[in-house]
């Protein structure tokens, strides 16, 4: 048998043809998987900014918090105040992991014994005699959004320090800054009875 005859017999064998096809297919699939894994891992390493976490806005420090710069020096992110809060109002910030309160979600209830302050061992939260000494922020009313003119005054009766009142002469809600402690109860209530919250508490950490 000549060499050309042998070659013709080999290529014409259906079994050998299938085996050759399957072998090449497996090699091709393996190469494709390797390329996929390589590009997937390279993408994760080369683009870390895609996993950047954005902080929610409008947060307040817990009662008794010292001035912001000093607070960041003293706070150890231990989470003791978070665990001590009986109303689950305190939670860690997403980026800093330091304790904060989001008044539009869960306002401070101004506990009589301030358990959050009592467990703080680094004086990031300083002792308070009563809730009138709390200075978490200051409530601000957006008159263009407020529905007091339509009869809403839900925030007035819910304010624990009576800092909010209804001016029936102008049908506007007003805030007594000397009484407001920034607990956020008004903002929370306003947001639950209206489509938009007309009251926002500006944190003293932002006010300065």
* φ, ψ dihedrals at 65, nearest 5°: -65, 135
Number of domains in the chain: 2
77 and 172 co-located in one domain: yes
Domain annotation covers residue 60: no
Domain housing 42: 3-50
**Residue 204's pLDDT is what?**
72
* φ, ψ dihedrals at 86, nearest 5°: -75, -10
Residues 23-75: pLDDT tens digits?
665 656 666 656 665 655 554 444 545 456 678 899 999 999 999 999 999 99
* φ, ψ dihedrals at 87, nearest 5°: -110, 5
103 and 187 co-located in one domain: yes
Domain annotation covers residue 158: yes
Q: Please give the angle made by the CA atoms of 203, 85 and 89, to the nearest 5 degrees.
A: 45
Name 139's bridge partners: 201
Q: What is the pTM of this model?
A: 0.72
Residues 168-181: pLDDT tens digits?
888 889 999 999 99
155 and 82 co-located in one domain: yes
Query: Looking at the chain, how many residues does it have?
Result: 208
Residues 128-168: pLDDT tens digits?
999 999 999 999 999 999 999 999 999 999 999 999 999 98
Contact 143, 161 (CB under 8 A): no
**Residue 194's pLDDT is what?**
94
- DSSP class of residue 174 equals E
d(CA 207, CA 205): 6
109 and 179 co-located in one domain: yes
30 and 114 co-located in one domain: no
141 and 172 co-located in one domain: yes
CATH value at residue 160: 3.30.70.20
**82-100 b/e with 16+ CB inside 10 Å = b?**
bebbeeebbbeeeeeebbb
């Amino acid at each position: 048998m000549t060499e050309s005859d042998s070659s013709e017999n080999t290529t014409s064998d259906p079994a050998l043809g299938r085996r050759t096809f399957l072998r090449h297919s497996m090699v091709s699939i393996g190469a494709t998987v390797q390329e996929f894994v390589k590009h997937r891992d390279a993408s994760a390493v080369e683009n870390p900014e895609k996993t950047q976490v954005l902080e929610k806005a409008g947060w307040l420090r817990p009662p008794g918090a010292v001035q912001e710069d000093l607070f960041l020096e003293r706070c150890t992110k231990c989470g003791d105040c978070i665990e001590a809060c009986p109303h689950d109002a305190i939670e860690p910030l997403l980026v800093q992991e330091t304790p904060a309160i989001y008044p539009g979600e869960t306002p401070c209830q101004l506990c009589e014994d301030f358990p959050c302050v009592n467990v703080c061992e680094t004086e990031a939260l300083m002792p308070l005699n009563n809730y009138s000494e709390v200075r978490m922020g200051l409530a601000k009313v957006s008159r263009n959004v407020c529905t007091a003119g339509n009869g809403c005054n839900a925030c007035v009766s819910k304010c624990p320090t009576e800092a909010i009142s209804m001016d029936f002469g102008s049908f506007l809600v007003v805030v007594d800054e000397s009484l407001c402690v920034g607990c956020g109860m008004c903002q929370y209530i306003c947001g639950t009875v209206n489509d938009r919250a007309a009251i926002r508490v500006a944190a003293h950490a932002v006010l300065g």
